[in-house]
């Protein structure tokens, strides 16, 4: 009974107090908002980025100004050696990791006819390979955490496919199978793995899509608007918290009602 009471305490403003969280690709966009939200809930947050050092420092500063704990954690997630080095830095500064949010992702959009092997490989290496590398580096931590959480950020595009995104859609679809498999392999430890599939979100990634294509996409969204990054973070907060203890292997759409 005491466990249940603790999980459902609606007055607890810091449900992630004492948890260490890693958010990949947290210097900008959705990842930055996730980092703020996990810190707001009391988590100590490692802000991973590849090259936006100044932006990552800004995120750290904002978190620290709010009397929470954060560190910058540089690594190209597609490079296993860099990820291992980053994991050692996170362990040194924040200790064992409870929550890993695999959010870092890129697009290189082209119709299939024009898509080169390199366009394919780069996107697969970051979106899918990066998730593998980071999960590998923190798997033991998540397994041994009391309430370990693996949260993978996919996309509605992984469910629907999308014109000009064979590489991206495949990488995001692969995350569903990866998540379900990891959920099974983690289950005996009580830790969970879930996947969030956002719709189209106002970030630099969406900015790269030509205006006329954006208009076409928007016309298909029942809620008739693109998401703000804040529309996505509530689901991550929930999955990271003890309230989601009995939820694993799921793909959760946050997409304004887009059918797939």
- Which residues are catalytic, by number? 168
For the chain, the first-to-last Cα distance in angstroms comes to: 40
Q: Which string of DSSP letters, residue by residue, matches 69-115? A: -EEEEE--TT-HHHHHHHHHHHHHHH-S-SEEEE---------GGG-
Yes or no: say if 225 and 215 are a contact pair by the CB < 8 Å rule: no
CB closer to ligand NAP out of 78 and 192: 78
The residues, ordered by sequence, that sit 6+ positions from 92 with a Cβ below 8 Å of its Cβ are none
Q: Nearest approach, Cβ of 190 to ligand NAP (angstroms)?
A: 27
Nearer to ligand NAP, 88 or 187 (CB): 88
Cβ(43)–Cβ(99) under 8 Å? yes
Positions that interact with ligand NAP (CB under 6 A): 24-31, 48-52, 76-78, 103-106, 126, 130, 153, 155, 198, 200-201, 203-206
- What's the closest the beta carbon of residue 223 comes to ligand NAP, in angstroms? 14
Could you tell me the smallest distance in angstroms from the CB atom of residue 52 to ligand NAP?
3
Q: Backbone phi, then psi, for 70, in 5-degree steps?
A: -150, 160
CA triplet 118, 120, 124: central angle to 5 degrees?
Answer: 115
Residue corresponding to tokens 């810190």: 39
The least distance separating ligand NAP from the CB of residue 47, rounded to whole angstroms, comes to 9
> In DSSP terms, which residues pair with 74 in a beta bridge?
49
Question: Which has the closest alpha carbon to 189: 245, 131, 251, 133?
Answer: 245
Name the CA radius of gyration of the chain, rounded.
18
The whole-angstrom separation of Cα 145 and Cα 21 is 12
Nearer to ligand NAP, 201 or 244 (CB): 201
Q: Which helix (H) or strand (E) holds 47?
A: strand 44-49
Rank residues 51 and 189 by Cβ distance to ligand NAP and give the closer one: 51
CB of 19 to ligand NAP, least distance (A): 21
Nearer to ligand NAP, 183 or 232 (CB): 232
- Give 115 or 221: the residue with its C-beta nearer to ligand NAP: 221
Q: Which residues pair with 96 in a beta bridge?
A: none
Q: What is the nearest approach in angstroms of ligand NAP to the Cβ of residue 65? A: 20
């Amino acid at each position: 009974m005491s466990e249940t009471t603790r999980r459902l305490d609606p007055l607890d403003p810091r449900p992630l107090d004492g948890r260490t969280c890693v958010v990949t690709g947290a210097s900008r966009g959705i990842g930055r908002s996730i980092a703020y939200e996990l810190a707001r809930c009391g988590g100590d947050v490692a802000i991973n980025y590849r090259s936006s050092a100044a932006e990552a420092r800004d995120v750290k500063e904002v978190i620290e100004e709010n009397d929470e704990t954060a560190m910058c954690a540089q690594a190209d997630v597609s490079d296993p050696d860099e990820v291992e080095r980053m994991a050692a830095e996170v362990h040194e500064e924040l200790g064992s990791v409870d929550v890993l949010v695999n959010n870092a992702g890129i697009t290189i959009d082209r119709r299939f006819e024009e898509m080169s092997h390199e366009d394919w490989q780069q996107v697969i290496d970051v979106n899918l390979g990066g998730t593998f590398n980071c999960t590998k580096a923190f798997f033991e931590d998540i397994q041994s955490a009391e309430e370990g959480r693996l949260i993978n950020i996919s996309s509605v595009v992984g469910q629907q496919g999308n014109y000009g995104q064979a590489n991206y859609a495949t990488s995001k679809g692969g995350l569903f199978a990866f998540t379900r498999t990891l959920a099974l392999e983690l289950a005996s430890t009580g830790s969970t793995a879930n996947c969030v599939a956002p719709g189209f979100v106002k970030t630099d990634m969406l900015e790269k899509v030509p205006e006329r294509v954006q208009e076409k996409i928007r016309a298909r969204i029942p809620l008739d608007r693109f998401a703000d990054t804040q529309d996505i973070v509530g689901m991550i907060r929930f999955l990271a918290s003890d309230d989601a203890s009995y939820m694993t292997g799921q793909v959760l759409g946050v997409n304004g009602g887009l059918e797939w």
